[in-house]
Amino acid sequence: MQISSDSHNYNQQTVLTIYAHADDEVLPAAGTLNLMSKAGWNVRCLILTDGSLSSSAVKGTRHQEAEAAGKIIGANYEFYALEECNFSTQAVIKVAEEAVKYWQPNLIITHAPQPEKYGHRDHEVCSIAVSNVATRKNIPLWYSAPPVFLRGFEPNFFVDITSVIEEKIAAIGCYESETSKVFMQLDAILVLSRFWARELGQMEGYFEAFEISRQWVNANFFNAMANISAQKISS
Ligand SMILES: [Zn+2]
């Protein structure tokens, strides 16, 4: 049990991200999480492992790096120490249920489920377990884009993160221990963000892509949609 004891405002909207490793959250979702934080959401990032098996040369620093990234994007972190490449679905279900009970999230974001062979084993187990919990608890659930090997990911929801692309780059830059990874390079981050813009027929701008697994809305949602439509017409 590592859930922090800071005060919980139940009137505030909460997004809970659950990822296997520190850095999994910033690559696909730092911009969106930053926008949510700026809009007043409580942004909680739960990390299942401690990074001790990372292929990077620098060990044991990923939690500090995550907290530095969190300061930039406006997120608070909770860390668990499940064993990398060995944790069970049931272990993640237990962690997720505990976090859901405590934070009562309005939205959960996690890894996209990918068929075996394509995704990281830990990402797959995390995704299956979190999907199980979100479904049983009837919580909206979005899957974020895999860093590479996009097979099986079917994006159907895109967030314009152009206004916070600098924050996203800075947050990813906090993970100094991971800079050797090919998908952590600036060019790859910008290209993928731009690729999602092109998917929407836009030359400019940067986007993050999600696959909505389950989502429900109330009547206010249509007010927000109407505002977006009005902005588009006037721009
Ligand atoms: Zn990972």
Q: Would you say residue 9 lies in a domain?
A: no
- Cα(173) to ligand 1 centroid in Å equals 16
Where in the sequence is the domain holding 223, given as residue range(s)? 14-234
What does the pLDDT read at residue 1? 44
- Cα(221) to ligand 1 centroid in Å equals 32
- Cα(129) to ligand 1 centroid in Å equals 15
Query: What are the CA-CA distances from residue 82 to residues 113, 118, 126 (Å)?
Result: 19, 22, 11
- Cα(146) to ligand 1 centroid in Å equals 9
State the average pLDDT for the chain: 89
Kindly report the backbone phi and psi dihedral angles of residue 53, in degrees, each rounded to the nearest multiple of 5, phi listed first: -100, 10
What does the pLDDT read at residue 8? 60
Nearest to 43 by CA among 7, 73, 5, 1: 73
CA gap 58, 166 in Å, rounded:
25
More confident position, 206 or 187: 206
pLDDT in tens, 32-57: 999 999 999 999 999 999 876 555 54
Domain count across the chain: 1
What does the pLDDT read at residue 4? 55
pLDDT in tens, 114-162: 876 677 899 999 999 999 999 999 999 999 999 888 888 999 999 999 9
- Cα(209) to ligand 1 centroid in Å equals 17
Structure confidence at residue 234 as a pLDDT band (50, 70, 90): low
Structure confidence at residue 171 as a pLDDT band (50, 70, 90): very high
Q: Would you say residue 8 lies in a domain?
A: no
Q: Would you say residue 196 lies in a domain?
A: yes
Q: Would you say residue 2 lies in a domain?
A: no
Three-class secondary structure assignment of 192-209: HHHHHHHHCCCCCCCEEE
If residue 90 lies in a helix (H) or strand (E), which one and from where to where? helix 89-103
Instruction: Inform me whether the pLDDT recorded for 193 exceeds 50.
Output: yes
| pLDDT-wise least confident of 22-36, 86-100, 110-124 | 110-124
What does the pLDDT read at residue 147? 83
What does the pLDDT read at residue 57? 47
Q: Would you say residue 49 lies in a domain?
A: yes
Residues with CB under 5 A from ligand 1 (ion): 20-21, 24
- Cα(120) to ligand 1 centroid in Å equals 7
Q: State whether residue 60 is helix, strand or coil.
A: coil
CATH code of 81's domain:
3.40.50.10320
- Cα(156) to ligand 1 centroid in Å equals 22
- Cα(27) to ligand 1 centroid in Å equals 10
